Structure 1
Amino acid sequence: MPCGGGDIGLNVWSENGDVLFYIARSGTFDENNSLLKLGRVRLRLTPNPFEKGTFKQELALQTGDVTLTGTVGKTTARVHVWVDVFRPIVHVEVNSTEKLTATASYESWRFEDRVLKGKENNQNSYKWAPQGEVKTRHDSISFRGHTVEFFHQNQPQTVFDVAVQQQGLATVKTQLFNPLQNLVFGGVLWGENMQPASTTDGQYLRTPYRSWQLKSRAPAHNHSLTLVLHTAHVTSQQGHLGLLAINSPAKVQWQAGLQQVISTLPNPLAARRRTVAWWRGYWNRSFIHIQPSQPTANAPEWQAGRNYQLMRYMLGCNAFGTSPTKFNGGLFTYDPVLTDSTLKFTPDFRNWGGGTHTAQNQRLVYWPMLKSGDAALMKPQFDFYLRLLRNAELRSQTYWRHPGACFTEQLENFGLPNPAEYNWKRPTDFDKGLEYNAWLEYEWDTVLEFCLMMLETERYASQDATPYLPFIESCLTFFDEHYQYLARQRGAKALDGEGHLVLYPGSGAETYKMAYNSTSTIAGLRTVLTRLLELPPAYGTLEQRQKWTAMLSRIPPFNFREIDGHKMLAPAKTWERINNTESPQLYPVFPWDIYGVGKPDLTTAVNTYRYDPDVQKFRSHVGWKQHNLFAARLGLTNEAAELTVQKLQDSGRRFPAFWGPGYDWAPDHNWGGSGMLGLQEMLLQTNGRKIYLLSAWPKAWDVHFKLHAPYQTTVEAVVKGGKIQELKVSPEARRADVEVLLK
């Protein structure tokens, strides 16, 4: 069961009478770019109220906490676990009707170095192509006074250095942003009236661990544990191995920062009130409750509404992270043998990397936040890109001598392609700016969705777009400059006969390769440039707006094809092969919002959904598949409902919103995100200032929802028996823009 807040995620459960939780925090990347957990805590009470009695565990969404209650005979104990939203603190509070002894253990599987072999390297940036031995280095763990202190210090040499050398960027290395250098992360655990007891070794789900135990000085009705986390980039390292030796300057720096956090700890009651207020505000901002008067657990449509809320809860647990919520598990991954029994790895494992950013998947985690009213939660994702802007620009300057930010797919958190995907076995004369990879070559347009998200936060939430304009302009400049550069390599002209860019070679997602004028790229460039020009006049100088207008005029038109008499969008003008199973010919529907309900030529897009042979073949609800979104945006109620319910039905795991692994890992957050989007689009769509309600909503489903629309608008409605019973639009002046399309 997930529990979290701020930038911390816990997996909380009870087993053999113990209460356990994993600890994860945003940004805890080791030297190999694995996203490491911060350990496991085990609590045991004696006499034990969680053995051979009644037991209940509950996640309270409204207040963001988990409570475990056990009763044996006359003894009832309650363990309350919650995370401070505003500070990196985990609280565990024990209350019992009888006096109990409490033993709290900090458990770590990183008490010694671990050599990673085979598929276990999929958790880091080396993947299937490690260059020599790869180790997860041990943490430093010890009793310190009445506490257990633990931390991980990155070695001086990291995968960043390996990638820079591999990709021919040594001459600009000192200019590159490096998030792994001098990084230290960890924390301290203590208990009120508890003292160090012993250190023991054990094994959990095939993984050896060492345990540092704290024990209460005497039995009591009440016990409390406090876990404080701290992450820092220290300014110096000690020793040629970079180890945090006793009293080394780096260790002292990190400990000083940790003590600063501890010295400013708020009163727990006041912190609890602020945390509860934050979660209540979160849930008041938006919601979707399906069949609210008939909460039938096995009804698929009720499950879809309930699991929408659970997925949104997990997204809220990384509201203030230094790194975005990862599509392949977020903060809530767990022992891999529970996902794949053949994987005898540690709880640090997740498939497709820790620091590796797959934009095609990440986008589905963040798009739902606009209509849920959580635009402020998009900041970690936007900051991720802003930090990498200079690195992406240096790639273009170094390789091709032209301006613009080049962001590849399978991007590391330091802005360079993943080394394994970049490929170590490259022809010596192959362009160093390109990934030598059949799936990823020439796939540069995924960043454009995040450009549009940045612009949409201005429309939806009136957030200032000024900090994002240099980033967006640089991404657009890359396409304008690079495709003219490529055209000049082939001939005397930089543009085609109509004055348009020749987007070749290009890519339609990872599917249509060596594409000429990919539809997804055309749609992305057109939409981002159009939205830039639609910004209020205060944004951009006259010169900038003239530049955007000129660039927009160079974007080529869409390509169409006809099959069995049906006109439809083509994936591109031409392509050489199909590599994956995406449907980018429908990206003009979602995310680019060019075709859809209330927009011109809807029939062409509907034909593409229904008759394109590849779209039909690739159609699915699994993982990042987004056919439910296409159907919703096109007003295809039955198809949208079928696929969205399949996406959001119970996962089959104990926690119903832990979907996956799909194509990625469990819990699959891009699976959940695309499910959220499907429900939102079935309920509310927009076209300019127009707001369309229920354009793909089944009449048989009652619903109470509150969602956000552009121009700082909220819409709340109660639908019963196929009719709107209540409708609230804020501001009221926007009610005139609302049109109900329930069929």
Structure 2
Amino acid sequence: MLDDYNQVWNTQSSNSSESMPLGGGDIGMNVWVEKGDLYFYFSRSGTFDEHNTLLKLGRVKVTLTPNPFEGKEGFYQELKLKDGYVLVGQNDTKIKLWVDVFKPIIHVDLESKTSIKMTASYESWRYQNRYPKGKENNANSYKWAPQGELIMYKDSIAFENNGIKFYHRNRENTVFDVAVKQQKMESVKDQMLNPIANLTFGGFIKGDNLKPDGTYLGKYEDTDFKGFNLTSIKPSKKHALEIYLNTDQSDFSTWNNGLKNLISANKNTAKQAEKNTQKWWNNFWNRSFIFTQKNQSNAKDSVYQIGQNYQLFRYMLGCNAYGKYPTKFNGGLFTVDPVYTNKDLNFAPDFRNWGGGTMTAQNQRLVYFPMVKSGDFDMMKSQLDYYVSLQKNAELRSEVYWKHNGASFTEQLENFGLPNPAEYEWKRPADYDPGMEYNAWLEYEWDTVLEFCQMMLQQKEYAGEDIQKYNQFIISCLRFFDEHYQYLAKQRGRKALDGNGKLILFPGSGAETYKMANNANSTISALQVITESLLNLSGNQLSKEDSEYLKAFQTRIPPLNFGQIENHKVLLPAKTWERVNNSEVPQLYPVYPWGIYGVGKPDLETALNTWKYDPDALKFRSHIGWKQDNIFSARLGLTDEAAKYNTMKMANSERRFPAFWGPGFDWVPDHNWGGSGMIGMQEMLLQEADGKIYLFPAWPKEWNVHFKLHAKQNTTIEAELVNGELKVLKVIPEERKKDIINLLGKSEAEKTKLN
């Protein structure tokens, strides 16, 4: 079934926007054939420059003589999902492109029935300094507020040992230094993690039968570049091109030696590496899947499409399984020339909107939450460890600004743990709290880190993993709320708590939407769920002191807020708020991600009323980008609505590759669009409450599906639904079969009565 979802193209592409994603380990490529030449961009996790732009590593062009791609007939380009590679061919010539999952090496293997000559060219637009202007700085951390003229420094590129060496080494002064000064953190600067100082990244391109063959200048779309040719010494029926990559925060000679060692250690190992890589992808696909179909003609079948795009997007996530940094919500490793996303942005291919080293929590969580039910726990490490690595910097913020404990994480977070400098704002009132962002959208939004705490706890809840390394991090995040809101209350009056001994979470924020909020429900539900889960899952690993602290903190968390709309009890966004700034629906966060309400849980009706009657929830409803209506409706057991919003969200994108959605609110490909789509489909198929596993809680009876998903207590469920009948049900471990309740075809009223 997976093979049905392979993307097969029988015509060449007109430009880079019609490219196909390829990758593995922590490398992403965009592959396409244009005017008879094979091209690919290649990117890698963590290649941040001085200004925190996530730089591509370059573009490769492969030209063959005589050229098999010249005729119109017989061309094909296929993404082979099962084994994780791309095959391009025509006229007895085929080229296989694949990435080693375990080592940072890209392989291009050509086979032909006749001897042909190959020229592989490395094309770089960073052969000279570039001077980003205006909107172009949205790709870096300065965004709309660069301090003086910025220089995008050139890379070093040269022929060496019959190959091409290329690298970027960050200059001494970086945006880290600028932000630390701007945000008055100099007193602790030497204690802070700085991930972009001394960073060097790049690699080496070579092939056994290749030699340097001069350079040339050119222009692709809007960007000038310099090309460096490697040409075959003699025509051959076989050619192999290899690109070795290295990223290291060290001095240059250490980086250089690392690259040399990578090359020498991998002589004659490609065959075995290819086997290992294929095995990894085979296991990846066996771990989890959702195959769907409604009727037999795939082309027009919207249900087939959502299954296809679920698999294609999960494949793209798999391409950064082991990155040092999480997969970025705003394009991942697969962005291309920006003019194809917005015709007015004629910038270099490094461009993406919303920054390179800026990890926006509300967006990132949607990229990573689907990995829980797909069982991709190994892939979640880069996102979770990213936060843990910044714990010290976040605690230093609390110490420097407010002299209290706890890790203070903001919503728009740089990869060094401080707020984005542009969002922090340069033009601030002199007496404004230096720990605060002077920003209408982001002020007082500290609670988004708690969703990553949730993912840390789910590693144990679902996979039984040891999460001791996360316990102190989670406690520090909770402690921030406890100490900071007592600190703020004491600024206003004599008492630290309200008349009931509860924290006063004011000023707070209901996502980016309900601002200057008092006791936002999204924050309250997060604090309640995380504290309870931590005590349940890690209780026996915590010190007596930590355990007692958490139990006492639990008593200080305020209760959720309810209201009435047309005589229906509803969840409110907060006790009170002053203004509405965005279009998220945090009044439904107690449904998702916090799971206080849902199928099989108490008082489902209150959550359903909120979905049906809250005027903002109705006004903001949409399937685009990070919108979560497809998830809320599935969690509430609303089959028709879940079918509608998930079909719209996971429909083919407007681009040649069906899962390159966007830009939505962000960029192309929009990874929080795909991630929220995956979550919605999973929730339609499988939910849990109080040890019970609900099958098909919001799945239409007439949609055929074969899926394998993960549940709590190391459980996997594989089920096949054909023409409204459950044909296969495999539950591992077997004893959990008794916990399964099949809700296929059950009415909303029946689901409401489940608890």
TM-score (normalised: structure 2): 0.95
SS of the counterpart of 2:201? strand
Give the secondary-structure state (helix, strand or coil) at the position aligned to 1:165: helix
* 1:4 counterpart SS class: strand
1:9-40 Cα deviation digits (max 9, x unpaired): 00000001000100100000000000000000
Secondary structure of 1:3's counterpart equals strand
**Are 1:103 and 2:111 counterparts?**
no
Are the counterparts in 2 of residues 512 and 578 from structure 1 also a CA contact under 8 Å? yes
1:550 and 1:22 mapped to 2: Cα distance?
54
Give the counterpart letter for 2:263 in structure 1: I
Q: 1:659 aligns with which of 657, 661, 679?
A: 661
2:652 to 644, 650, 653: 650
Q: 2:740 aligns with which of 729, 738, 741?
A: 738
Question: Partners in 1 of 2:195 and 2:202 — Cα distance?
Answer: 16
Aligned to 2:51: 32
Matched, 1:699 2:719: no
| TM alignment of 1:98-177, pairs within 5 A | 98-177=114-193
- Counterpart of 1:3 (choices 15, 22, 29) is 22
| Counterpart contact for 1:632–1:681, Cα < 8 Å | yes
Counterpart of 2:67 in structure 1 is 48
Superimposed CA distance per residue, residues 93-113 of structure 1 (whole angstroms, 9 cap, x where no aligned partner): 000111110000000000000
User: Aligned in 2, Cα 1:293/1:704: closer, same or farther, shift over 3 Å?
Assistant: farther
Please name the residue that 1:689 is paired with. Answer: 691
Aligned counterpart in structure 2 of residue 70 of structure 1, from 70, 87, 90: 90
**Comparing 541-550 and 41-50, the one that deviates more:** 541-550
SS at match of 1:535: helix
2:445–2:511 Cα contact (<8 Å) kept:
yes
Aligned twin of 1:58: 78
Verify the 8 A CA contact 2:157 2:165 in the aligned structure 1.
Answer: yes
Per-residue CA distance 1:591-624 (angstroms, 9 max, x = gap): 0000000000000000101110000000000000
- Structure 1 residue 537, shift from structure 2 partner: 4.7
Distance in 1, matches of 2:410 and 2:474, equals 15
SS in 2 for 1:406: coil
Query: What is the alpha-carbon distance in structure 1 between the residues aligned to residue 294 and residue 227 of structure 2?
Result: 46
Contact 1:81–1:92 at 8 Å: present in 2 too? yes
Who is 1:245 aligned against? none
> What is the match of residue 239 of structure 1?
none
> Would you say the 8 A contact 2:471–2:538 is kept in 1?
no
Kept in 1: contact 2:294–2:303 (CA 8 A):
no
Give the share of equivalent positions with the same residue, in percent. 60
CA contact 2:522–2:590 (8 Å) conserved in 1: yes
User: Given residue 212 of structure 2, which amino acid in structure 1 is its aligned partner?
Assistant: P
TM alignment of 1:225-244, pairs within 5 A:
225-235=241-251
CA-CA distance at 1:429 after TM superposition: 0.1
- Runs of 4+ displaced beyond 6 Å: none
- For 2:652 and 2:89, the matched residues in 1 are separated by 24
How many Å separate the matches in 2 of 1:304 and 1:201?
Answer: 43
Provide the alpha-carbon RMSD of the alignment.
0.9
What is aligned with 1:16? 35
Contact 1:107–1:209 under 8 Å retained in 2: yes
The CA distance in 1 between the partners of 2:547 and 2:299, in whole Å, is: 53
Partner of 1:253: 254
- Partners of 1:110 and 1:576 in 2: CA distance: 47
For residues 721 and 542 of structure 1, the distance between their equivalents in structure 2, rounded to whole angstroms, comes to 55
**Distance (Å, rounded) in 2 between the aligned partners of 1:293 and 1:663:** 33
Residue 105 of structure 2 aligns with which residue?
A: 89
Residue in structure 1 matched with residue 411 of structure 2 by the alignment:
409
Alignment partner of 1:551 out of 547, 550, 553: 553
Per the alignment, residue 510 of structure 2 pairs with 508
Q: Which residue of 2 aligns with 1:670?
A: 672
The 8 Å contact of residues 337 and 343 in structure 1, kept in 2 or not, is answered as yes
Q: Amino acid of the residue matched to residue 719 of structure 1?
A: L
Aligned mates of 2:76, 2:541 — CA distance in 1: 54
Q: How many residues align?
A: 724
Q: How does 1:724-735 map to 2 (within 5 A)?
A: 724-735=726-737
Is 2:309–2:651's contact at 8 Å kept on the other side of the alignment? yes
State the Cα distance separating 1:293 from its structure 2 match.
Answer: 7.7
8 Å CA contact 2:539, 2:547 repeated in 1? no
Question: What secondary structure sits across from 2:309 in the alignment?
Answer: helix
Deviation at 1:430? 0.2
Residue pair 2:294, 2:703 contacting (<8 A) in 1 also: no
Match of 2:608 in 1: 606
Match of 1:726, SS state, is strand
SS of 2:574's equivalent in the other structure is coil
Aligned to 1:243: none
Query: Alpha-carbon deviation of 1:723?
Result: 1.9
CA–CA distance in structure 2, aligned partners of residues 293 and 707 of structure 1: 23
Please tell me whether residue 264 in structure 1 is matched to residue 265 in structure 2.
yes
Question: What is the aligned partner in structure 2 of residue 444 from structure 1?
Answer: 446
Q: Supply the distance in 2 between the matched residues of 1:536 and 1:509 (Cα, whole angstroms).
A: 28
Amino acid at match of 1:599: K
Alpha-carbon distance between aligned partners in 1 of 2:740 and 2:548, rounded to the nearest angstrom = 34
